[in-house]
Amino acid sequence: MSVSVTVTKLNWRGETVYAWEGEAVARGPGYVTLRAVWKGPGTVRVAEDVVFERGDIFYEHYFDGKPYGLWQVLTPDERTLKCWYCNISMPAHVSDDTITFRDLLLDVLLLPDGTCRVLDRDELAHARAEGLDPALAALAEEGAREVLDLIATGRPPFGGESMQSGKPPALG
């Protein structure tokens, strides 16, 4: 039986930005995977060629001590991979029914064709100018490098079936 989990995203200042519900579909030593349905806030264009829309399915992977959450985004029928959206953050605080993370602005976008981009460097620069702790900025850069390395080497959850339409990755 899956467990309902509330995910709360905080901005870099620690203020709540948004919260949503998901179902824990896998747990193991050091990780949890949720299945969540995008309900908003509305339609969000995360890149020129990627839009999150109502009903999209997210398989969200959170790892103990890691400065990122890795989200596989599928169409509502779960047959088509839209992208992997990798949210760089402080390591998430995970309990049985809650996950909270502090966003560090950078995101890594991986498209089904293998195209990979780091997003929001301008936002990170703006936050630095507004007083973002240099240690947090360094953690954001390190988190992005770590995700890019996972992608480049095809380590879980990337590679294999996870890059095909409708194939949630196995981590075990």
Longest dimension (CA), the chain: 47
Q: What is the mean pLDDT of residues 17-30?
A: 94
- Is the pLDDT at 139 greater than 60, yes or no? yes
The number of beta carbons lying within 10 Å of the beta carbon of residue 47 is: 14
Q: Could you tell me the domains of the chain?
A: 3-163 (2.40.380.10)
pLDDT attached to residue 49: 86
pLDDT > 70 fraction of the chain, expressed in percent and rounded: 92
Q: How far apart are CA 120 and CA 124, in angstroms?
A: 7
pLDDT attached to residue 150: 95
The dihedral sign for the CA sequence 167, 163, 122, 143:
positive
What single DSSP character describes residue 62? Answer: E
Q: What is the mean pLDDT of residues 113-133?
A: 96
pLDDT attached to residue 172: 47
- Residues found in the chain: 172
Q: pLDDT tens digits for 94-109?
A: 999 999 999 999 999 9
Q: What is the mean pLDDT of residues 22-38?
A: 94
With beta carbons less than 8 A apart as the criterion, state whether 154 and 124 touch: no
pLDDT attached to residue 2: 74
Q: What is the mean pLDDT of residues 111-122?
A: 94
Q: pLDDT tens digits for 59-105?
A: 999 999 999 999 999 999 999 999 999 999 999 999 999 999 999 99
Q: What is the mean pLDDT of residues 31-39?
A: 95
Q: How far is CA 24 from the centre of its chain?
A: 15
User: Which tokens is 25 given?
Assistant: 């579909």
pLDDT attached to residue 164: 55
Q: pLDDT tens digits for 144-169?
A: 999 999 999 998 898 766 665 555 55
Q: What is the mean pLDDT of residues 12-29?
A: 95
